[in-house]
Amino acid sequence: MSQTPPTVGIVMGSDSDWPFMQEAAEALDEFGVSYEADVVSAHRMPHEMIAYGAQAAERGLKVVIAGAGGAAHLPGMLASVTPLPVIGVPVPLKYLDGLDSLLSIVQMPAGVPVATVAVGAARNAGLLAVRMLAVHDDGLRAKMADFQADLKQQAQAKGERLRR
Q: What residues between 77 and 136 interact with a copy of itself by CB under 8 A?
A: 77, 79-81, 83-87, 92-100, 102-121, 123-125, 127-128, 131-136
Residues numbered 32 to 51 that lie near a copy of itself (CB under 8 A) are 36-48, 50
Report the candidate in 7, 5, 62, 17 with the shortest Cα–Cα distance to residue 41.
17
Q: Which of 62, 65, 67, 139 binds a copy of itself (CB under 8 A)?
A: 62
Closest distance of CB 53 from a copy of itself, Å: 8
Q: Which of 26, 60, 139, 145 binds a copy of itself (CB under 8 A)?
A: 145
Closest distance of CB 4 from a copy of itself, Å: 16
Closest distance of CB 7 from a copy of itself, Å: 9
Closest distance of CB 89 from a copy of itself, Å: 10
Give the residue with the Cβ less far from a copy of itself, 5 or 46: 46
Distances (CA, A) of 58 to 52, 53, 84, 150, 155: 10, 10, 10, 35, 41
| One-letter identity of residue 110 | A
Give dist(CA 84, CA 28) in Å, integer.
Answer: 17
Please list the alpha-helical segments (H only) found in 1-45: 18-30
Is residue 1 part of the contact set for a copy of itself (CB under 8 A)? yes
Interacting residues of 25 by C-beta distance below 8 A, sequence separation 6+: 10, 35, 37, 126
